[in-house]
Structure 1
Amino acid sequence: MRRLLVGLTAVSVLVVATACGSSGSGGSDGSGSSGSTTSVKVGLIPIVDVAPLYLGQKKGFYEKHGLKLSLTLAQGGAAIVPGVTSGQFQFGFSNTTSLLIAQSNNVPVKAVANGIASTGEEGKDFGAITVKGDSPVKSAKELEGKKVAINTLKNINETAVRASVGKAGGDPDKVDFVELAFDQMPAALDGGQIDAAMVVEPALATIKSQGGREIASSMVDIAPDLTVAMYFTSTQYARQNPEVVKKFQEATAESLAYADSHPDEVREIVATYTKIPADVLAEVTLPKWPAEANRASIEALAELGREGGLFKQEPDLDELLP
């Protein structure tokens, strides 16, 4: 991210289903084994954030650690959470707010690896609130009464918009949030169906290519170097398959480090699972892929969630985080 996602409403493409291994003999844990290789299904979002997994798979990092990944795309982390807890996926990618909400609702999730982080630079992040070039809206405060698109309601993007509106002196409760997939936001904004969109790459670059502009770097407004998303599994799977989890953690750490130091290869791999044109992709702002989650930033995000009434009970960070 630069990037992010909750309400636990599942998207139709992620109907809770009985899991089965993608190859080999399936076990009760939903993974298949073939010799020393374990096949695992991973739920992802078609955004720049998850490029390290595609890159790590291409470079053989997961194979080296005895894993074969089957990657499935979904609209948001809120939909991936039930997919993981039902056993449809062994691992998933979700924004941190979605995981905090799930944990506070006693949904058995466990973060196992870092996902992405904000660049921490105002105006140079992978996510931003955007408007059309000729929009009269100049600041987040002016989003009061306006229709603002986010990929899923009650998630990190809603929290981020609310943080920016409040920071600018506005009332976040007066914003009209609408749910829309990231890849649909550029056309909706250009066509006037929405007044603003909280987007992450590659949708951010697409909107800019259409003449749109940023009015706030919302991830930066939440906290410096915000941990926007993480990879996670179910607590049951983690308990029953500690060696598989360890392999996934090690391979993902290699993949994150490689992606962070090879931006050109990141852009190349993103073109394989998104429809973003090459000229737009060249302008994409990449997120940071640090090895470790930033706990202080997650605590700040949790505080905003409390203020926004997202939690039925206090999320337990010690239980959730790796």
Structure 2
Amino acid sequence: MHRDDPHHRARESCRRSRRPPVQPDPLQALAADAELFERGTWVRAGPGTTRPSPEDPSPIEHTCGMLMLQSGDPVTDKGVIVRLTLRAGAAASAALLAVAALAGCGSSSRDSPAAVGSDGKCTSPATLKTNLVPLYPLVKIGNDAGIFQKHCLVVQDTPAQSPVAAIPAIVGGSQDLTLLPAANLISTLNQKVPLKIVAPGAKIPDDADSLPPAKVDAAGVFLPKGSTIKSPKELEGKSVAVPGLGTSIQFGVMAAVANAGGDPSKIKFVQLDSQTEVQQLRAGKVDAAAIATPFSTQVEKDGYTRIASPTTALYGAGLAHTPWVTSQKALSAKPDAFKRFREAILEVQAYSMAHPDEYYQAMADQSKIPLDAIKAGPGFWFATQMDVNALKAFANKLKSLGIVTQVPELDNVIATS
């Protein structure tokens, strides 16, 4: 191989280095990398990094003892990518199990059950920590309405950059709960990470097919003006912008094409941030763009044609698609707290649906999205129970789409206590 090749230079730099590689804290590293993993940028698989020199135009990250992927490579359920560059053989491969390994070294403390006096009043509440994206203000609602207090709970939320970014914190024990899309749950379970469903969360409404798509789905697949595309099937071989690779929105585009009889493997996905997606759509530089709220609301208002609704296409009407999850270790350590949480969060979600204006205001406060934009966007629905058979059917759908390579064992994924 030529010495000017960037891969050659990276290996030589690793070989000549006299200093031992920096050993990052695994939880911090995984938390930082999870967001990049979701966006399809790169995956950390070992310590130490050697980057190209400033004059090196190569977009490839060079590593010592890491498993890397190039930006734009699709993510599979193994955290491995279609176009994969392996730098450190078995050492890097073994590091793919880092997330699963953290399941055995977390810091979840033993349960301190909530204490209730003889008069039925809470004297010492149990504490749980959640890690949620700001678009889910359920902890704020539960605290403001006094529902968690009624169930002798203190629930504290720390904002998460994305659902996938919350997984390392949950597995590592620094956080207890998150709302995780079912597609990401299935992928994570396939990596042998022991997650458990504590309670149902968001769902697609049972009557989704009879409602305006923009009121059901927080995202839409839109066409440039003047496009001749009439069906999602025609997105085969076309460029489709998505805000993140390995996300439910990308999977939803694949499902929409497959549902229409097309081959989703032929889609040419382009990863762009949401604002750039809109710009490229308006300029006609992509054949379609899968755009999330609140940008989707404005695009639809401006007259761009919605060719598909990715969330609905992926999950289908009625599925509880974003459940509350925790780690097996945390559930075993704090059974009383999680039992109380399940009872409380079902009440919080029912309260939210009965008081939509309060929910929308809390969402606006947390996300900093204008209230008018939130109200103009999709509605929200929460499930009251989890159906393991529906979850199995969904996992098989992911396999048929090529998103996962196997269906994990799901019979015991729902916590029963």
> Same fold, TM exceeding 0.5?
yes
Q: Which amino acid aligns with 1:236?
A: K
SS in 1 for 2:329: helix
Distance 2:365 2:110 in 1: 27
Match runs of 1:1-322 below 5 Å: 10-11=34-35, 28-29=108-109, 36-47=124-135, 50-119=136-205, 120-122=207-209, 123=213, 124-131=215-222, 134=225, 136=227, 137-179=229-271, 184-185=273-274, 187-192=275-280, 195-222=287-314, 223-311=316-404, 313-322=406-415
- How far does residue 209 in structure 1 lie from its aligned partner after superposition? 4.2
The answer to whether the Cα contact below 8 Å between 1:190 and 1:210 also exists between their aligned partners in 2 is no
The answer to whether the Cα contact below 8 Å between 2:203 and 2:382 also exists between their aligned partners in 1 is yes
Distance 1:46 1:147 in 2: 30
Q: Which amino acid aligns with 2:126?
A: T
- How far does residue 51 in structure 1 lie from its aligned partner after superposition? 3.2
Distance 1:97 1:56 in 2: 26
Distance 1:171 1:256 in 2: 38
Distance 1:130 1:311 in 2: 23
- How far does residue 149 in structure 1 lie from its aligned partner after superposition? 4.2
- How far does residue 264 in structure 1 lie from its aligned partner after superposition? 1.4
- Kindly tell me: are residues 138 and 246 of structure 1, through their superposed partners in 2, closer, same or farther at Cα, counting changes over 3 Å? same
Q: State the percentage of identical aligned residues.
A: 28
The answer to whether the Cα contact below 8 Å between 1:132 and 1:190 also exists between their aligned partners in 2 is no
Q: Which residue of 2 aligns with 1:3?
A: none
- How far does residue 57 in structure 1 lie from its aligned partner after superposition? 2.2
Q: Which residue of 2 aligns with 1:4?
A: none
Distance 2:144 2:413 in 1: 29
- Kindly tell me: are residues 107 and 204 of structure 1, through their superposed partners in 2, closer, same or farther at Cα, counting changes over 3 Å? same
SS in 2 for 1:11: helix
Q: Which residue of 2 aligns with 1:22?
A: none
Distance 2:110 2:163 in 1: 20
Distance 2:186 2:392 in 1: 10
- How far does residue 167 in structure 1 lie from its aligned partner after superposition? 1.7
The answer to whether the Cα contact below 8 Å between 1:112 and 1:249 also exists between their aligned partners in 2 is yes
- How far does residue 270 in structure 1 lie from its aligned partner after superposition? 0.9
Distance 2:144 2:241 in 1: 34
- Kindly tell me: are residues 60 and 221 of structure 1, through their superposed partners in 2, closer, same or farther at Cα, counting changes over 3 Å? same
Deviations 1:189-248 (A, max 9, x none): 221075544455444334434544421123333432122211111000001100111111
- Kindly tell me: are residues 283 and 28 of structure 1, through their superposed partners in 2, closer, same or farther at Cα, counting changes over 3 Å? closer
More off after superposition, 69-78 vs 151-160:
151-160
- How far does residue 94 in structure 1 lie from its aligned partner after superposition? 0.7
Deviations 1:160-210 (A, max 9, x none): 221110122322011233455xxx42x222210755444554443344345
The answer to whether the Cα contact below 8 Å between 1:42 and 1:89 also exists between their aligned partners in 2 is yes
Deviations 1:56-99 (A, max 9, x none): 22212112223222222233322212220011211111101111
- How far does residue 109 in structure 1 lie from its aligned partner after superposition? 0.5
Distance 1:226 1:214 in 2: 22
Unaligned runs of 5+ in 1: 1-7, 19-26
CA RMSD of aligned residues (A): 3.2
SS in 2 for 1:316: coil
SS in 2 for 1:249: helix
Q: Which residue of 2 aligns with 1:24?
A: none
Unaligned runs of 5+ in 2: 1-31, 39-43, 45-98, 115-122
More off after superposition, 224-233 vs 139-148:
139-148
Distance 2:243 2:111 in 1: 29
Q: TM-score, normalised by structure 2?
A: 0.64
Distance 1:87 1:257 in 2: 28
